[in-house]
Chain A
């Protein structure tokens, strides 16, 4: 065979995909079973949609769904525009060295682990001599336990999300902006358009496609809500508002050992997320003329 070696190159990948991706898909059948370790996945009795029904009827269902959507919603409202605004502001800067320095600085948080970010937050916001509370003290204000109080959970989630991701996220918009021809601006200026008008009529429309694609991904990922960030910021005091679908799957599955129930919740999430992605894609195709499929 002519291509023997090439197929040999692909073979390990195919085996790997079968084992680590496709086998767990088969394992997801567990969601429709009453799992018994000795009987295995196939041998365990079928229970149909019972696990799904149980989840949707449980009081946790609405709490978990609400938290997931609220956290994602807050991130979309505040976190989604942040890199766009940053890119627009950076785009106005003509001093190249300054621009590049700011960009390089703003990328660093993206490269470190959420564990490191949460460690930094713990030191900075601690009421025991942390810098933020020391500044508050300087103004005669009482210290606040930012990381432990329920009321500060969402603000901390959103702010740390922006801090970590906005800088790096701006790259994709900046690259779209660099493709806009300077002649367009010059022509508009000759016609008497100001900078603001240029931004509105030239800059923004030229990155509309990029914004649209990123928006589809953001909405498609609504049910994710930033898994490891939430997991790390979660504390007993805030579980009521911080438990999201993924953390709930982990808890019921790995901590309480209810494998089939947790699998059902995970599957529910995958299917729902996929539908959501398809829907946004369709809407975006219709109104913004961009789509990922």
Chain B
């Protein structure tokens, strides 16, 4: 009797380990496929941007350029609209990250000091803006009345602060022992010195995370340019791509004819040019994100555990 039961249980285990193996094989295949699908569209467009446009339009180029060329990128850089928009994107990203980090660090530091009177009030004053806002239209009217809709500063000034960035940094500052600050102050260091010489150097991972958060946000933001910027010459690259995209879909029927016309003279097409532009927008992110990924994940963890 007892023996019989054991045999059954062993049989059950063998059966389960077999179905487990089948599951694991499928799991590996599925996840590999998922990873592939996540990446392949980028690869496809990279291949398209490195292939002559005329040849790509014939089809069949999927994994490797058939007629390799750098012409698309050369043309993209020659196009002043594209070049200027990239300049704007780079400028707003660098400036946005620097100013964003600086001002966020100031307020996060001050509000991490436990003994500061009014600390809770200020934090709530800040937090409240995440649950209620005036909406897009009053916001737009404000930007217009301030003259920001005709200015490059439209991309910088209204985005300096963000409650979640603040929370991420302050949560990290909270973990720094207050004795460090106190002893530095006994040695005669002012608040600025404590922040920049002690707190910030201790917070490198979170600063890296935050820089990436802010930077990626600036680089990717197309909406501000598209709806709030009235000067076309001040469009960032993401906005320009959106405008090109919406022009292309609006005239998709005549686009084909245009392309054959174009390819009669040159090797690149409006499509291949656009692919090069998409790649120029994507490449900086592809280059940056794997390196900062570990910081990023760590930062999200800190934010989610304490926030």
Binding site for B on A (CB under 8 A): 3, 5-7, 9-10, 12-14, 16-17, 19-28, 30, 86, 89-90, 92-93, 98, 101-102, 104-109, 111-116, 118-124, 128-129, 131, 134, 147-148, 163, 167, 171-172, 175, 192, 194-195, 228, 231-232, 235, 246, 249-250, 253-254, 259, 262-263, 266-267, 269-270, 274
Contacts and interface: CB of A to CB of B under 8 A. Distances in A.
B38 A263 contact: no
Contact of B142 (A24, A98, A121): A24
B126 A13 contact: yes
Interface centre among B36, B107, B113, B241 (most CB of A within 10 A): B107
Given A106-B35, A122-B249, 13 more contacts: A6-B110, A13-B103, A13-B106, A14-B122, A17-B129, A24-B134, A93-B31, A112-B281, A113-B222, A116-B238, A120-B278, A148-B252, A163-B38
Contacts of A163: 37-38
B32 A10 contact: no
Chain B: number of interface residues, binned into ranges? 35 or more
A175 B48 CA distance: 37
Interface stretch (B54-62, B69-77, B172-180, B200-208): B54-62
A42 to B, nearest CB: 13
A211 to B, nearest CB: 13
Given A9-B109, A106-B38, A134-B60, A24 B138 contact: yes
Contact of B191 (A5, A16, A263): A5
Contacts of B275: 123
Contacts of B111: 10
Interface centre among A93, A107, A115, A270 (most CB of B within 10 A): A115
Given A106-B35, A259-B141, A232 B300 contact: no
The 5 closest A-B pairs by CB, nearest first: A27-B138, A24-B134, A266-B135, A113-B220, A105-B35
Chain A binding surface SS class: helix
B45 interface: yes
Contacts of A270: 132-133, 135
Contacts of B158: 20
Interface in B187-223: 190-192, 195, 216, 219-223
A192 B59 CA distance: 56
B186 interface: no
A12 B9 CA distance: 70
Contacts of B1: none
A64 to B, nearest CB: 15
Chain B binding surface SS class: helix
A274 B278 contact: no
Given A108-B42, A254-B227, A17 B139 contact: no
B137 A89 contact: no
Interface centre among A10, A89, A102, A122 (most CB of B within 10 A): A10
A104 B293 contact: yes
A267 B245 contact: no
B304 interface: yes
B289 interface: yes
B256 interface: yes
Interface of B: 9, 16, 20, 23-24, 27-28, 30-32, 34-39, 41-42, 44-45, 48, 56-60, 62, 103, 106-107, 109-111, 113, 116-117, 122, 125-126, 129, 131-142, 158, 160-161, 190-192, 195, 216, 219-223, 227, 238, 241-242, 245, 248-249, 252, 256, 271, 274-275, 278, 281-282, 285-286, 289-290, 293, 297, 300-301, 304
Contacts of A28: 134-135, 138
A9 B44 contact: no
Given A105-B38, A131-B62, A171-B297, A115 B241 contact: yes
Given A12-B106, A147-B249, A175 B41 contact: no
B293 A107 contact: yes
Contacts of A25: 132-134, 138
20 contacts: A5-B190, A9-B110, A10-B122, A20-B139, A24-B139, A26-B134, A28-B138, A30-B138, A101-B35, A106-B34, A108-B38, A108-B39, A113-B221, A113-B238, A119-B241, A123-B275, A195-B16, A250-B227, A254-B227, A267-B135
Given A17-B129, A259-B141, A102 B32 contact: yes
Interface centre among B59, B134, B271 (most CB of A within 10 A): B134
B242 A30 contact: no
Interface centre among A119, A134, A147 (most CB of B within 10 A): A119
